[in-house]
Amino acid sequence: MFTILVIVAVFVGVVTLVLGVATMFRGSGGTRAEDRLHMLTAGGGRGQARDPEKPNLLAQPLDDFPSVVEQFFSRFGNLRLYLEQADSRMSPTKFFIISGALALGGAGLCFITPVPKVFAPFIGGLLAVIPLFAVCLKRRRRIHAFSRQLPEALELLGRALRAGHSLGAGFNLVAQEMGQPIRKEFQTAYEEQNFGIPLEEALEGMTERVPNLDLRFFATAVILQRQTGGDLAEILDKIGRLIRERFQIWGQVQALTGEGRLSGIVLLALPPVLFLAILYLNPEYVMMLFTDPMGKKMLAGAIVLQLMGAIAIRKIVNIKV
């Protein structure tokens, strides 16, 4: 009976941890400039924006419908959109199944190995966060690669417009000449136009799949040009040049903050590594933190201070450009 209660407690704790990490990565919704650009790209001001909670039926498989688990967890964040931004073919239901299986497997290892059972929630929680960490890492790399390719794509699109091609044909040209991941996004926008979806909605869908501020500027420029007129090719060249200058400044900031980031990694990794080393050398000495009431308070205080230190270091070295 005690084993079953421990497994249930581990599962509840893991689910809470996954929700907390997902909420943390989701953020507060962007800056004021991003909100203004989102309002402009939401259908060009001629209607309501497409609800990101409702996936596009043209891009959704026939057998992929939101399950009861996904509908419940959608209150805390749009995991389906997050997986789509990471270009992951995994459905939210499979994601939760894999996380739960890893959590139960990690907790079960504590009952079949000499590892103390008190570590079951921690090991289960760490294993359950692995899929979320992998998706976050893949999403971050994809968005970074897209932002690197965007200036060249805008210049190519501007040259296509000067050569007399239409904007849709320019999208197709970018999809043919550029590599992944920008090829897939422009190809999707081009195919959506062929299906009869307005260009404003196609651009809005692209900005949802790739949450990039520079892409929002591009979408806003295209929508305003279609409403008011102007030389779109010149606007695209200026946006591309602006993005390149931002990358140059960002590289300088990364070089100046490299020492602080490395110091933060060392300071944050030192306590857990030292804890594991002492646990291996003298387990009875470390178990006082879990058996003695004062040791439990000290352990909780150390975890809180560690999290506060991580947040403080991130605020110092994370400079937005």
pTM to 2 decimals?
0.64
Nearest residue to 89 via CA among 100, 98, 80: 80
**Strand ranges for 177-278 from DSSP E:** none
Distance CA 105, CA 123 (A): 9
The closest alpha carbon to 270, from 295, 302, 296, 294, belongs to: 302
* 94-105 pLDDT, tens digit each: 888 888 888 888
Report the domain count for the chain.
2
Tell me which of 248, 266, 282 is where a domain ends. Answer: 248
The string of DSSP codes covering 130-146 is HHHHHHHHHHHHHHHHH
Domain at 181, CATH number: 1.20.81.30
Contact 105, 10 (CB under 8 A): no
8 A C-beta contact, residue 106 and residue 14: no
Q: Is position 175 within any domain? A: yes
| Residues 7-29: tens digit of each pLDDT | 555 555 555 555 555 544 444 44
How far is Cα 318 from Cα 254, in angstroms, rounded to an integer?
Answer: 9
Taking CA atoms, 42 is separated from 53, 80, 95, 218, in Å, by 15, 20, 30, 13
215 belongs to a structural domain: yes
- Which pLDDT score, from 0 to 100, does residue 180 have? 87
Rounded to an integer, what distance in angstroms lies between the CA atom of residue 96 and that of residue 80? 12
Instruction: Mark whether 271 and 225 lie in a shared domain.
Output: no
Residues 212, 235, single domain; the answer is yes
Q: Mark whether 234 and 304 lie in a shared domain.
A: no
Give pLDDT tens digits for 192-229.
Answer: 888 888 888 888 888 888 888 888 888 888 888 888 87
Does residue 310 share a domain with residue 240?
no
Q: Flag whether 279 is in a domain.
A: yes
Judge if 272 and 243 occupy the same domain.
Answer: no
Domain annotation covers residue 7: no
Whether residue 55 is preceded by a cis peptide bond, meaning omega within 30 degrees of 0, is no
Residues of the chain above pLDDT 90, percent? 2
Backbone angles phi, psi at 193, to 5 degrees: -65, -40
d(Cα 236, Cα 217) in Å, to the nearest integer? 10
Residue 205 sits in the same domain as residue 230: yes
Q: Are residues 148 and 197 in the same domain?
A: yes
CA atoms within 13 A on the CB side of 188: 22
How many whole angstroms separate alpha carbon 105 and alpha carbon 109? 6
Q: Please list the helix, strand and coil fractions of the chain in percent, rounded to the nearest 5, in that order.
A: 80, 0, 20
Same domain, 168 and 237: yes
pLDDT at 39 over 70: no
Question: What's the rounded mean pLDDT across residues 141-167?
Answer: 89
**Final residue in a domain of this structure, among 222, 248, 274:** 248
CA dihedral 90, 92, 96, 102 (to 10 degrees): 20
Q: Is the separation of the CB atoms in 6 and 107 below 8 Å? A: yes
Lowest mean pLDDT among 49-58, 108-117, 142-151: 49-58
For residue 181, tell me if it sits in a domain.
Answer: yes
The last residue of one of the domains, among 220, 248, 276, is: 248
- What is the widest separation between alpha-carbon atoms in the chain? 77
Based on the fold, state whether residues 206 and 266 are members of the same structural domain.
no
Q: Are both 275 and 310 inside the same structural domain?
A: yes
228 and 192, same structural domain? yes
- The answer to whether residue 128 is domain-embedded is no
CA distances from 268 to 130, 212, 240 (A): 19, 29, 38
Residue-range definition of the domain harbouring residue 314? 257-321
pLDDT at 262: 87
Query: Which letter does DSSP use for residue 45 in this model?
Result: G
